[in-house]
Structure 1
Amino acid sequence: MRLRDNPIIEVSRKLDCTPERAWELVTDITLPTSADGELFAAEWLDDADAVAVGARFVGHNRNDTLGEWSTTSVITEVEDGRRWVWSVGPEDAQPWAVWGFEVEPAREGSIVRQWARFGAGDSPLRGFIDAQPEKEARIISGRMAVWQAGMEANLDVVAAAIA
């Protein structure tokens, strides 16, 4: 596995709620902060208060290996009620990662999907790989496992908010 291939990870879950309710939940940037994952705080920037193209927010993260860090994200795509996508990293450079939530109607509920794709930007992850190129696949695989666990936890929180 190579970073230059922009690997992607995705999780999905069928939920017992309307697509409108699912959308309301997945567009709350603070909801994942209560999940078991790296993100522990998030807030809107520049007087933004809702998902909209161009809106920015900051996420504060931590884990035992990497410590604490913050990232700025900008929303790059919105299909109201269906999909929103944000880019992580400096706005004037290639993204470090691109993340998204999608909602689609399903029989007796909704399907919610969260996904993330590694970006080509000059991220801290790229620095780790450049320092140990022989471990590139292992480094990426490790981050993908962390991201997947976090996404599963996010969908657990969404499901719990419905119940």
Structure 2
Amino acid sequence: MRYAEGPTVEATVHVAAPPAQVWPLVRDIQFVADTSEELQEAHWLPAPEGPAEGEAPAVGHRFRGRNSHPQGGEWETVSTVVECDEERRFSWAVMDTENPTATWLFTLTPVEGGTELRQWVRMGPGPSNLNKVIEKMPDKEERIVAHRCREWQQSIERTLAGIKERAES
């Protein structure tokens, strides 16, 4: 799999709680950061770019994330909410909404006994720090992309487990 192909990663978990109980955790970007090894913190930008005091996030709202990776160092990103369908879908594009470095998505589906919670991410199509690594070792692109996908898979599984635990407690 090559970066330009827009590889995706996803996982799903059953949460023994209704979507109304899961939704606040999904859209709580700091809680999502708390479950991640890479995303160290996330904060909504002040209005008008982010939600006003006490306001729920909506399409167009932006947040800043601070990231850390053993090989990639530290960096910040700004993400924009591109979907916010209450208790159903919450998605953001990283950096440029027209050409994001990644797009992240949560979907909540009501099922018997709770919620099927899915998290999905697509790499690219916009350039990211990963492109710099690939440019240095183009013959290893597929291995580099596969490694990054495995890291994202672990991150998604950790985030879903954290949301499940909090929603069910």
Whether TM exceeds 0.5 here: the answer is yes
Cα distance in 1, alignment partners of residues 104 and 135 from structure 2: 23
Structure 2 residue aligned with 1:54: 60
Q: Is the 8 A contact 1:89 1:123 kept in 2?
A: no
- Equivalence for 1:28: 28
Q: Distance in 2 between matches of 1:99 and 1:56?
A: 14
CA contact (8 A) 1:103 1:113 kept: yes
Q: C-alpha root-mean-square deviation of aligned residues, in Å? A: 1.3
Deviates more, 1:1-10 or 1:39-48: 39-48
Contact kept in structure 2, 1:75 and 1:86, CA below 8 Å: yes
Residue of structure 2 equivalent to 1:129: 134
1:36 deviates by 4.3
User: What is the Cα deviation at residue 101 of structure 1?
Assistant: 0.7
1:138 pairs with one of 129, 137, 143: 143
Runs ≥4 in structure 1, deviation > 6 angstroms? none
Alignment match of 1:80 (pick from 86, 89, 99): 86
The equivalences for 1:100-139 within 5 A come to 100-139=105-144
> What is the number of residues matched between the two proteins?
162
Deviation at 1:46, TM superposition (A): 3.0
Q: CA deviation at 1:155?
A: 1.1
What percentage of residue pairs aligned between the two structures are identical?
Answer: 36
Secondary structure class of the residue paired with 1:95: coil
How much does 1:32 deviate? 1.8
Q: Which runs of 5+ in 1 are unaligned?
A: none
Provide the TM-score with structure 1 as the length reference.
0.93
State how far apart, in whole Å, the 1-side matches of 2:82 and 2:129 are. 22
TM-score (norm 2): 0.90
Q: Is the 8 A contact 1:71 1:88 kept in 2?
A: yes
| CA apart distance, 1:141 | 0.7
Deviations 1:6-36 (CA, angstroms, capped at 9, x unpaired): 0100011000001111111101111122214
Distance 2:135 2:163 in 1: 37
**1:66-89 superposed Cα distances (whole Å, 9 cap, x missing partner):** 121111101112222100111102
Partners of 1:39 and 1:62 within 8 A in 2: yes
How far off its partner does 1:65 sit? 1.5
